[in-house]
Structure 1
Amino acid sequence: MFRTALIIASFFITGVAAAQPWETKLYDGFEGKEFSPDGGLYYRENFEQSAGTVEFQSAVKRSGNGGLKLSVVPVCPDSLDGCSERAEIWEKTELRVPYDQGIWYGFSVKFADPIPSGDHRYLVAQWKREIEPGAEGDFSPFLALRMNFGKLFATVETNYIAPASSGPDGVAAACRPGQVPVWGRPGINQMRMLVATDPAWRPDDGKLFNACTDAIAVTNHGNPLPDPKSGWIDFAIYTKPGADGAGHIELYANGKPIITVKGHVGHDDKGLGHNQYFKFGPYRAADVTDWTLYYDDFRRSPNCADVLAKEACPFP
């Protein structure tokens, strides 16, 4: 009783509440032979993840003495429809961030040769909302860094909103100012918006996005996503979902601002959980080749300056 009174008194005197687990500053430079306790990361074990291998190595790194090598190999049988192959690193469940809170993430990635150049589904990193047991549906990431035809692009997902305009299937939309290309999927109450691309991207690469939406506002800061062949890419990303229109994303690469996204970000369906979570590592639809990515310098914090150079931060 006395201790409780002291804690309450301390709160009123200082005006500062105790930090929650999700507010903990996380960092892992992958310097040792396993994940650092200060990083809050782990490798999840399941069938799709059995396609992956994790190697703490020192031959390829961005800084320090080590880096993480993540690889996937073919494991999916032809008879298993919809099977994926993954080597994804997850945040520990107890450190997940509430869905209505903003958080900064940083990590570096390097594409190993050969970089896949085919028409296939490849993901480098993704941010999702928890799904409660028994919930209906398979919900796409509200933010994802993807690759197709050897080109890097970013997408934002939200619940389906009728498009402002649309074109024929298989033809990329030419959107008006204030609109962004979108792939609508009304049957599952989702839609995916194309928000950033690398310099090699061409309209034909985005045929899936055959409509336009004003559900989000995208501010382009004049810098494309880096070319996957350019070496180490250091990302700094702020995520604050808001399916009601209050969403906010900041995307930086190599210290340069790429885009700001505001508006409808994420899903708000029945059966979804209270937290967002982040995964990184190679994730693809079933394929017949090996694929390797290197990662380094993972960090996470509510404070921008813990993830991105302070002078580059758009807000504290």
Structure 2
Amino acid sequence: MNRRRICALALMLVMAGAPQANAASPTIRDEFDATSVSDNWFSCSRDENSFSFGKLADDARSAATQVVKALPQNNVLAFAWHPKGCAREDGSYDRDGSERSELWEAQKILAPMGTEIWYRFDMFIDDSITPTTGRFVIGQWKQTNSPKDAPVLAQRFNGRAFTVSLEQDNADPDRDPKNVLCRVFIASQETAPVEPGFGTPHTLVKPAQVFSLMKTETLSVGHDTDDLAHGTAPLSLPGLTGCAQGLSVTRYNSLPDPFGKWTTMVYHLRLVSDQTGLIEIWADGKKISKTEGIIGFKPFLAKESQYFKFGSYRNHAEFETVTRLDHFIRSERKEDVDPDGTLAPP
């Protein structure tokens, strides 16, 4: 066999083997132009929410619109975990003490846990959230069958201040044994009470604890009990503080004020619970922060998938909140989410 044929055969073998070695997750784009949701998404229907899609009456764009309404407070928590608080085909769902109006990435498009991946989306957060509002999450990334039922990464709007937090196992040797998680803030609005690098310990509410706790609080199974607004004065916290460990957090800019307007977000993610984890965040074309190190929970389950969901997820509140999602792109290639280099500059 001559050299040319050997080289050609070697190239054919490399090309044939590449898809198996690097199975790419699909690139997803959604402009929400249609009047019904595409099969890229699962709508988490419940009594307190509603969804609409397509052209906005007060805007030139199309979007997915989610509304979460104020319903009478319900402290009845159920322990059936499927389908994680969303309505089944018969309309029933497991009431979990929280209120939500979320779109979830559909199962068929999920990327493997730890995939290096880019997200770009436009979000509209209305003005309803107040400085006294407690737990309010709008946009989070989770792991299927996670060893901890908490988001790996979350956008939080508690107290009308935009922050982004990650979760990791609480490895502080002096921790309270019940505080198994460490929430680390990696990006913040100027008005937020914490700056990037601050880690706060918290407990995971488990079914055995629920009935003793629900007498005084509205809880969400699998989430902490103290996720409340903290005030308005920023803290100066250089470096990592609290329970945060194994991370490097670099701050470039503050998050913008997102209330009552559209904000363009870009995330570059590698969600793994060893030293190779990565989160880069841009907002409205400005680099906000870069985080490297331990992200998520051990054991790292590479066979599992990561999924994004967007929309209001809150404790009971006495007001209606509208959120909107548009120009959604998810890809393993930066050039797909930022073709001209203006949304995610170095």
The answer to whether the superposition gives a TM-score over 0.5 is yes
Given the alignment of the two structures, is residue 66 of structure 1 paired with residue 62 of structure 2, yes or no? yes
Q: Contact 1:100–1:240 (CA<8 Å) still a contact in 2?
A: yes
Deviation at 1:54, TM superposition (A): 0.6
Which residue matches 1:122?
A: 136
Cα displacement string for residues 14-60 of structure 1 (whole angstroms, at most 9, x for unaligned residues): 664279885211111111111235xx222134xxx332211114236
Which residue matches 2:82?
A: none
Aligned residue for 1:262, secondary structure, equals strand
Deviation at 1:253, TM superposition (A): 0.6
Measured in 2, the distance between the counterparts of 1:270 and 1:220 equals 27
1:50-89 equivalences under 5 Å are: 50-59=47-56, 65-75=61-71, 77-80=73-76, 83-89=97-103
1:305-316 equivalences under 5 Å are: 305-312=335-342, 313=344
Aligned residue for 2:162, secondary structure, equals strand
Which residue matches 1:198?
A: 189
Which residue matches 2:42?
A: 42
Which residue matches 1:104?
A: 118
Deviation at 1:105, TM superposition (A): 0.9
Cα displacement string for residues 85-122 of structure 1 (whole angstroms, at most 9, x for unaligned residues): 11111111122111122111111111223333323100
Aligned residue for 2:326, secondary structure, equals strand
Cα gap change, 1:277 to 1:80, in 2 (>3 Å): same
Amino acid in the other structure paired with 2:277: G
Aligned residue for 1:243, secondary structure, equals coil
1:224 to 232, 254, 257: 254
Cα displacement string for residues 145-180 of structure 1 (whole angstroms, at most 9, x for unaligned residues): 0001111001011111217xx9xxxxxxxxxxxxxx
Q: Contact 1:250–1:260 (CA<8 Å) still a contact in 2?
A: yes
Deviation at 1:291, TM superposition (A): 1.0
State the TM-score, normalized to the length of structure 2.
0.70
Which residue matches 1:145?
A: 155
Which residue matches 1:95?
A: 109
Measured in 1, the distance between the counterparts of 2:320 and 2:148 equals 26
Amino acid in the other structure paired with 1:27: R
Cα gap change, 1:283 to 1:188, in 2 (>3 Å): same
1:240-279 equivalences under 5 Å are: 240-269=270-299, 274-279=304-309
Given the alignment of the two structures, is residue 294 of structure 1 paired with residue 290 of structure 2, yes or no? no
Measured in 1, the distance between the counterparts of 2:176 and 2:256 equals 29
Q: Contact 2:121–2:264 (CA<8 Å) still a contact in 1?
A: yes
Q: Structure 2 stretches of 5 or more lacking a match?
A: 1-9, 78-95, 195-229
Which residue matches 1:280?
A: 310
Cα gap change, 1:185 to 1:194, in 2 (>3 Å): farther
RMSD: 3.2
Deviation at 1:142, TM superposition (A): 1.1
Which residue matches 2:33?
A: 31
Question: Percent identity over the alignment?
Answer: 25
Which residue matches 1:180?
A: none
Cα gap change, 1:60 to 1:260, in 2 (>3 Å): farther
Aligned residue for 2:341, secondary structure, equals helix
State the TM-score, normalized to the length of structure 1.
0.76
Aligned residue for 1:24, secondary structure, equals coil
Aligned residue for 2:281, secondary structure, equals strand
Higher fraction of strand? 1
Which residue matches 1:131?
A: 145
Which residue matches 2:266?
A: 236
Deviation at 1:220, TM superposition (A): 1.1
Cα displacement string for residues 181-237 of structure 1 (whole angstroms, at most 9, x for unaligned residues): xxx775253210011111222455489x9825342111112x211102362101010
Larger radius of gyration: 2
Cα gap change, 1:304 to 1:270, in 2 (>3 Å): closer
Measured in 2, the distance between the counterparts of 1:191 and 1:116 equals 26
Q: Structure 1 stretches of 5 or more lacking a match?
A: 1-7, 167-183
Measured in 1, the distance between the counterparts of 2:105 and 2:139 equals 12
Cα displacement string for residues 241-270 of structure 1 (whole angstroms, at most 9, x for unaligned residues): 121222100111112110010011011249
Deviation at 1:80, TM superposition (A): 2.1
Amino acid in the other structure paired with 1:189: V
